[in-house]
Structure 1
Amino acid sequence: MSDPEVATKAPESDAADDTPSTSENPDAKPPLCDDCTSDRPTPSGQAATGEIVKINGIDCYISKPADYPHVPARLLLLLTGGTGVKSTNNQIQADKYAGEGFLSVMPDLFEGDAAPNSKVTEDENIPLIEKIKMRVADAAKSFVLDMWLARHTDEKVLPILHKVLGGSKEMFTDAANNGIYGVGYCFGGRYILLLSSERELPTSWEQKSEDEEGGSKLKGPFLKAGALAHATCVTPEDFNGLKAPISMVCVENDGLFPDDVRVAGEDYLSKNNVEHEVQVYPGVPHGFAIVGEYENANIKEAQVTAYEQMLSWVKDH
C-alpha cells in the first residue's frame, strides 16, 4: 500500500457535503457505520488481558504495562466507538497501548447502553424485493441509531469523562503526573477534540470544580496531547478552542467525517498555531483503525500504519 496522503487545504471552490440527514433521506448513510456499532472478527490468537473496575462509579477497562508500577507509565484515556467497553477488540486496543508503556483507562461512555449493531448485508445479485426490504431495514437502523445518539449527548458523556479523569488522577497519581494523553475512535474521537480544547463545562452539569472566587468552573484543555481515528458526529465548531496537540487519522471520501469538516478543522488549527498532523488514508473503510480482522492486505497494512501514527504522536508529546 502506498503511504497515506498528507491532507492539504482544499480549494475554496470545493463543494460541501449537502447530503440530507437520515431522517429526511432514508437512503442516506446512518450516523454511525457498521464498524462503529459492531466488531470485526477478533484477530486469531489475541485476547484481552486487562480488567474492568469502577472509577468514580463508572465501569472502566484498565490495562497496565507489564512492569508497572516498578517502571513509570503514562496515563492514557482511550475512548471507544459505539461497541463500548466490553468489546474484546476495544480491550485489545487498550492492551496494545499498555504494551507501549501507557496505563490505559477505557471508560464506559454509554453506561451499559452500547450501540445497536444490526447489520444489513448487501449483494448486487439480491432480488429487487429483497433490496427493498433491506432499504427499509437500513432506514429502521438509522432511526434506531438516531435514538441511541439522542441518549448519549454531551450532557451525558462529558460528565462521565470528567468523573473518570478525576478518579484516574487519584487512583494513578504517578502515571498522571506528567499529564493525561487521549486516543479516540469513531464516537470517541469527537470527545478527544472536546477534551483537548479550553472550553468550559456549563455550570448546570453535575461535575464541577471550585475556582479561587468560589464559583463553579471546569475548564480545559484536559489532555496533554490527543489522537483520533475516523471520528464521527464532528462539526467545524468542535475545533473551536482546541489547544492540545492533535493527530487525526482520516479516511478518504468519508461520509461520516466529510472533507469540508476536516478542512475547516485544519484551517482553524493552522490559523491558531495548534500543533497538529492529519493523514488521509485512501482505499480503507471507516472504522479500519480499530483492532479487527480484515482479509484485504491493504486495509491490514493501513491499520498498522494508523496505530503507529497515533502511538508515535502520544509518545512524542
Structure 2
Amino acid sequence: MADEEVATKAPESDAVEDSAIPNDSKAQEGPSMGEHCVTDRPTPAGEVPTGEMTKIAEVDVYVTKPADYPHAPSKLLLFLTGGTGVKSTNNQLQADKYAAAGFLVVMPDMFGGDPAPNTTTEASAEEQPSFLESVKLRVGETAKSFMIDMWLARQTPEKVLPLVQKVLDGAKEEFADAVANGGGVYGVGYCFGAKYILILAGEGPDTGAQGQPTTDEEQGMVKTGPQLKTGVIAHGTMITKEDIAAVKVPVCMVCVENDQLFPDETREEGKKLLEKTGIDHEVKVYPGVPHGFAVLGDYDDEKIKASQKDAFEQMLGWLQAH
C-alpha cells in the first residue's frame, strides 16, 4: 500500500478559493494523542546528544549545529517535537541527525515548561508484567489518558503559536547567515509539532504577540503568509483538512497506515486539496508501523527499524532538495 500512497509531485500554482475548503469537524472526533506521542522508546545504546540547551527570546531551546559551522555554510531548521518535548533525549538525538546532515537546528520548548504528563521511556519488550501489575497498569493508563486530555486543553494555538513565533523571530536574527544561505527557514515537525509546521507553512490570520487575530480598519483581519521555505512532518496529530488546505509552500508528509490520530479521510482530503492548489508535495504512508515510529528510538521489530530509517531519509531528502 505504501507505493500506492506516494502522491505525485505537483508544480506550484494559484491557491484555491477559501470557499473550497471543506468543514473539518470530524477531525476533532476520536483520540487526539496516543501513547507514542508522550512516551520515548529506549534510546539507542551509546548515543549522546551533541547540542546544547540555551535560550532564544527567553524561551528554552535545544540548538545543535553542524560540526564545521560557522566555517561552512548551513541552513536554519526549526524542529517542533511531539509531547515529550525539548528535553527528551530521543528528540535531541533526532535533531542531531539533521545537524550532522548540514542543518543548524533550533528546537524550542513549545510547551513553556509543561511537557505531556508522565513523559517516560518505554520499557523493554522483554519485560512482561505480572497479572497484578497489568491491572495496575490499566488503571494507571486510564488516569494518564485523563491527564493527557487536560494537558492538551492547555496546549492551544493561542498559547503555542506566539511562543514558537518568538523563537522563530529570534533564531532568524541570531542565525541570519543560515537563513540567507538556505533562502528561508526550513521546518520539521513530529506528532504534536507537525500541525504547527503546517500552520507556519500556510497563510492564516496574524495572531500577534498575544495569540489573538489582529485586524486593520481597511483590510479587516490581517493575514500572514508562510514563514517557512518548506516543511516536512511525520505522523501528525490534531491535523485538519483546513491546516493542509492553507499550505502555500512545498510539503512532505510521512504517515502511518490506519492511524487514528491522523485519519485516512483527513489525509486523503488534504492530499486532494494540495493537488488542487498545485503545491509541490509528497505523501507516503508506511504500513505495519506504530504512530511515532519516525522519532529516533530503539525497536525490536526489524521492519519498524527499516521504516524508521526510510522515513528519515525521505524527510531529509525533501529538505535537501528544497
Shift in CA distance, 267/20, structure 1 to aligned 2, threshold 3 Å? closer
Once the two structures are superposed, residues 238-269 of structure 1 have per-residue CA deviations (whole angstroms, 9 ceiling, x without a partner) of 12321010000000111111101101110110
Deviation of the 1:236 alpha carbon: 1.4
State the partner residue of 2:5.
Answer: 6
Letter in 1 for 2:32: P
Q: Which runs of 5+ in 1 are unaligned?
A: 10-15, 23-29
Whichever residue aligns with residue 292 of structure 1, its letter is G
- 1:262-277 correspondence to structure 2 within 5 Å: 262-277=267-282
Distance 1:261 1:101, change over 3 A: same
The question of whether the paired residues in 1 share the 8 Å contact of 2:61 and 2:86 is answered with: yes
Report the equivalent of 2:11: none
Instruction: Using the TM superposition, give the Cα deviation of residue 237 of structure 1 relative to its aligned residue in structure 2, in angstroms.
Output: 1.7
Residue number among 153, 157, 172 corresponding to 2:160 in the alignment: 157
Corresponding residue for residue 287 of structure 1 = 292
Letter in 2 for 1:97: Y
Q: CA deviation at 1:220?
A: 2.2
State how far apart, in whole Å, the 2-side matches of 1:209 and 1:55 are.
24
Check 1:191–1:80 CA distance in 2 against 1; reply closer, same or farther (3 A cut): same
Cα distance in structure 1, aligned partners of 2:56 and 2:220: 26
Per the alignment, residue 89 of structure 2 pairs with 88
The number of residues matched between the two structures is: 301
Q: Is the 8 A contact 2:201 2:231 kept in 1?
A: yes
Alignment gaps of 5+ in structure 2: 9-23
Counterpart of 1:25? none
Aligned to 1:39: 40
Task: Determine if the alignment matches structure 1 residue 111 to structure 2 residue 112.
Answer: yes
| Residues 1:252 and 2:253 aligned together | no
Q: How far apart, in 2, do the equivalents of 1:118 and 1:188 lie?
A: 16
Letter in 1 for 2:245: N
State the identity %: 53
**Deviation by residue 1:201-225 (Cα, 9 ceiling, x = unmatched):** 23573599999x9999561200000
Tell me if the contact between 1:159 and 1:206 (Cα under 8 Å) persists in the aligned partners: yes
Q: 1:20 to 1:36 in 2, by over 3 A?
A: closer
Determine if contact 1:190/1:238 at 8 Å carries over to the other structure: yes
Report the 3-state secondary structure (helix = DSSP H, G, I; strand = E; otherwise coil) of the residue aligned with 2:248: coil
Shift of residue 138, structure 1, vs aligned partner? 3.4
User: What letter is aligned with 2:227?
Assistant: F
Report Cα offsets for 1:64-96 as digits up to 9, x if no partner: 000111110000000000000001110011110
Q: Which amino acid aligns with 1:102?
A: F
Question: For 2:59 and 2:119, how far apart are their aligned partners in 1?
Answer: 26
Aligned ranges for residues 29-178 of structure 1 at < 5 Å?
Answer: 30-117=31-118, 135-177=138-180, 178=183
Asked whether the 8 Å contact 1:76–1:181 carries over to 2, the reply is: yes
Using the TM superposition, give the Cα deviation of residue 188 of structure 1 relative to its aligned residue in structure 2, in angstroms: 0.4
Question: Could you list the per-position Cα deviations for residues 143-196 of structure 1 after superposition, in whole angstroms to 9, with x for gaps in the alignment?
Answer: 211110111100011101110111001100000111000000000011111000
Give the SS at the match of 2:94. Answer: helix
Instruction: Please say if residues 228 and 249 of structure 1, whose CA atoms lie closer than 8 Å, have aligned partners that are also in contact.
Output: yes
1:261 equivalent in structure 2 = 266
Structure-1-length-normalised TM-score = 0.85
Structure with more contact order per residue of length (Cα contacts < 8 Å, sep ≥ 6): 2
Task: Indicate if the aligned counterparts of 1:203 and 1:216 stay in contact, CA closer than 8 A.
Answer: no
Aligned mates of 1:84, 1:125 — CA distance in 2: 28
1:195-234 to structure 2, matched below 5 A, reads 195-203=200-208, 205=210, 217=222, 219-234=224-239
CA contact (8 A) 1:31 1:145 kept: no
Q: If the length of structure 2 is used for normalisation, what is the TM-score?
A: 0.84
Deviates more, 1:196-205 or 1:271-280: 196-205
Q: Distance in 1 between matches of 2:34 and 2:129?
A: 23
- In structure 1, C-alpha distance between the alignment counterparts of 2:3 and 2:41, rounded to whole Å: 22
Aligned to 2:194: 189
- Provide the rounded CA distance (Å) in 1 between the counterparts of 2:149 and 2:68: 43
| 3-state SS of 1:242 partner | coil
**Structure 2 contact 49–93 (Cα < 8 Å) conserved:** yes
